[in-house]
């Protein structure tokens, strides 16, 4: 009796793709938009909510992106440090999970961005910090991301093979793999997103090199 043979299906649009590191990508950011007069910026339910004029700078580009889409951002906040009020720029990263455009009472068009899965410096802001409506910058993280790619067949497993090339240099490279289920229209099914972080350490010592890992 012949048993079951598991055969993987190759994602042709992912195979042999290269993701440049932050230190070598000349295309980062791919797109950027900034305003020094956002209508409002706030953190609500662990999400960053920002309202800007729709035609301000390059925000229309970000409003047209398919979501979720990875971005980094910069805001300005005031917080208490050692009893002293300090105002400075704060960076963060996350995914644009939705954007909505509307016409304000002044008949101008505005866009509201919702950014979830926050990480970076933004997560260390205390609850009593004040986010100032003086800066909102979005950077497209696309050069540092491959995908998303959708499987043409229903599957229960994902196999990922990664090659890291650090060459004759000591250092560590980090990467994140994210996946989620989609419906028949390829829209993300809520509650199915998972992510896993990995790293490769290249312990190059000149006379005793340890070559990059291949898995």
Residues 66-95: tens digit of each pLDDT: 788 889 999 999 998 888 999 999 999 999
Specify whether 94 is located in the same domain as 155. no
| Residues 145, 70 contacting (CB under 8 angstroms) | yes
Specify whether 136 is located in the same domain as 36. yes
Whether 68 is covered by a domain: the verdict is: yes
Specify whether 102 is located in the same domain as 126. yes
**pTM metric for this prediction:** 0.62
Last residue in a domain, options 91, 115, 143: 143
Question: Which own/partner contact pairs does 20-27 have at CB distance under 8 Å and 24+ positions apart?
Answer: 20/143, 20/144, 21/173, 22/144, 25/143, 25/144, 27/143
pLDDT one-digit tens code per residue, 136-187: 999 987 666 676 777 777 877 778 888 777 666 666 777 778 888 888 877 7
């Amino acid at each position: 009796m012949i048993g079951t043979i598991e055969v993987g299906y190759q994602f042709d649009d992912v195979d042999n793709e290269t993701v440049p590191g932050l230190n070598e990508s000349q295309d980062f950011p791919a797109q950027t938009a900034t305003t020094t007069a956002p209508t409002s910026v706030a953190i609500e339910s662990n999400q960053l909510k920002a309202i800007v004029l729709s035609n301000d700078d390059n925000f229309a580009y970000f409003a047209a992106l398919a979501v979720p889409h990875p971005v980094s951002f910069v805001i300005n906040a005031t917080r208490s440090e050692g009893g002293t009020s300090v105002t400075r720029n704060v960076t963060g990263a996350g995914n644009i999970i939705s954007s909505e455009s509307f016409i304000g009472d002044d008949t101008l068009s505005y866009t509201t961005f919702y950014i979830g899965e926050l990480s970076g410096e933004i997560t260390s802001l205390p609850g009593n910090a004040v986010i100032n409506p003086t800066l909102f910058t979005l950077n497209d993280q696309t050069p540092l991301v491959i995908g998303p790619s959708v499987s043409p067949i229903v599957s229960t497993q994902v196999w990922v093979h990664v090659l890291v090339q650090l060459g004759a240099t000591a250092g560590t490279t980090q990467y994140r793999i994210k996946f989620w289920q989609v419906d028949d229209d390829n829209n993300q099914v809520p509650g199915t997103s998972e992510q896993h972080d990995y790293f490769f350490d290249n312990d190059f010592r000149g006379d005793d090199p340890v070559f990059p890992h291949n898995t």
